[in-house]
Amino acid sequence: LNTVMHAQKAVDISTISEKTLSSILEQNRTYYTQGKVADYIPELGKMDANAIAFSVVGKNGKVFNTGDVHKKFTMQSISKIIALMIAVNEKGEANVFDKMGYFGSDKPFNHFSNLETTGKPLNPMMNAGAILTTSLISGEGEKPFLKILDMVRYITKNQALDYNKSVYESEKSTGHRNRGMFYLMKNNGLISGNEDQLDNYFKQCSIELTAEDLAKIGYFFANQCVRFDGDSTYKNVEVARLVESQMLTAGMYEFSGEYSRMVGLPSKSGVGGGITVSVPGKMGIGVFSPSLDQHGNSLAGYHMILDLVKQYNLSLF
Ligand code: DON
């Protein structure tokens, strides 16, 4: 572990500007050469490896952007926090976590983990738990997916958001591991529906957005589920605590423990190259760079977050 040199005292976050972000972005731009764009979903392999964007939504919902902020990418696993919020709002936390754990993991996101032993997924952030979570959202056919899409549109106030059909088709036709998990959980009595429920998971992963949208999602959970413009329709302290605690424990997969030492903030990554970060009570951060490390986390994205966190002493600890 490299020495972590954070600023020693709180630095006023209102001094963050687009200039701050662009200088951090430039310092980290070349990290993409050290990672790899995800290609296990063939359509993802077509992404432009050197695209990079950095966005912050700070006090009073003020937005700061730099880089390729209009570049869209798929949210992938970041959709899991939205699905968790909806499932818990509908079913209650106890009923959802009766079927899965609050555990962290030392295994990759697509690992079967203890589906074969206790029968239950470790947490709602790994694929198994996320597939199960989405299956718990009520409604026939694609209704659960549409609820997730609507919630992402609401949080980002971006009605034009939609899912990428070719990424969805690509996930559906190659996602045999996910299909295996789905049927094992069905065998274990945790899932009762048909493969439409798995399709909803593939669709939610294929929702396209920008780094700015991710920063707004981070802001939402950082602020008790209040939107960046102050709308408090979904305000819920406990749901925000739950989602943030899962992000901290398992949001960066098996890297989560080391990440919490280095960054110290609830964060969620996706293999599309996005990461959303919640700075509780303060702000949201969204980054994008599609080149990933061996855990499936954006490499340049991680380093941009780390630099901002060090500079402004944003770690919780
Ligand atoms: O199910 C999958 O494999 C992808 N749709 C999502 C995985 C993902 O984003 C994991 N991320 N780091």
Distance (Å) from CA 126 to ligand 1 centroid? 8
Decide if 7 is inside a domain. Answer: no
The active-site residue out of 77, 113, 278, 291 is: 77
Q: Would you list which residues are annotated within the binding site?
A: 77, 127, 171, 178, 201, 253, 271
> What predicted TM-score, i.e. pTM, was given to this entire model?
0.97
* Best CA proximity match to 134, nearest among 121, 153, 119: 121
pLDDT of residue 3: 58
Q: How confident is the model at residue 2 (pLDDT cuts 50, 70, 90)?
A: low
pLDDT of residue 4: 65
Q: Would you list which residues are annotated within the binding site for substrate?
A: 77, 127, 171, 178, 201, 253, 271
Residue range(s) defining the domain that contains residue 171 = 13-312
Structure-token pair, residue 158: 């971006």
Decide if 2 is inside a domain. Answer: no
Distance (Å) from CA 227 to ligand 1 centroid? 26
How far apart, in Å, are the Cα atoms of 193 and each of 4, 47, 97, 126, 168? Answer: 47, 33, 19, 20, 20
Return all residues near 87 (Cβ < 8 A) that are at least 6 apart. Answer: 96, 124, 133, 134, 136, 137
201 labelled catalytic: yes
The best mutation among 109, 111, 163, 292 to test binding of ligand 1, ranked by most ligand atoms within 8 Å of the C-beta, falls on 109
What is the percent of the chain with per-residue pLDDT over 70, rounded to a whole number?
Answer: 99
Decide if 5 is inside a domain. Answer: no
The best mutation among 182, 200, 205, 254 to test binding of ligand 1, ranked by most ligand atoms within 8 Å of the C-beta, falls on 205
* pLDDT tens string 77-135: 999 999 999 999 999 999 999 999 999 989 999 999 989 899 999 999 999 999 999 99
Ligand 1 neighbours, Cβ below 6 Å, are 76-77, 109-110, 127, 171, 178, 205, 269-271, 296
* pLDDT tens string 131-167: 999 999 999 999 999 999 999 999 999 999 999 999 9
Query: Which carries the bigger pLDDT value, residue 46 or residue 9?
Result: 46
Measured distance CA(38)–CA(292) in Å, rounded: 7
Asked whether residue 9 carries a pLDDT value surpassing 80, the answer given is no
Q: What CATH number corresponds to the domain at position 188? A: 3.40.710.10
Number of domains within the chain: 1
What is the percent of the chain with per-residue pLDDT over 90, rounded to a whole number?
Answer: 94
* pLDDT tens string 268-317: 999 999 999 999 999 999 999 999 999 999 999 999 999 999 999 999 99
Decide if 317 is inside a domain. Answer: no
- Determine the atom of ligand 1 nearest the C-alpha atom of 78: 9
Decide if 173 is inside a domain. Answer: yes
> Is the ipTM above a cut-off of 0.85?
yes
Decide if 1 is inside a domain. Answer: no
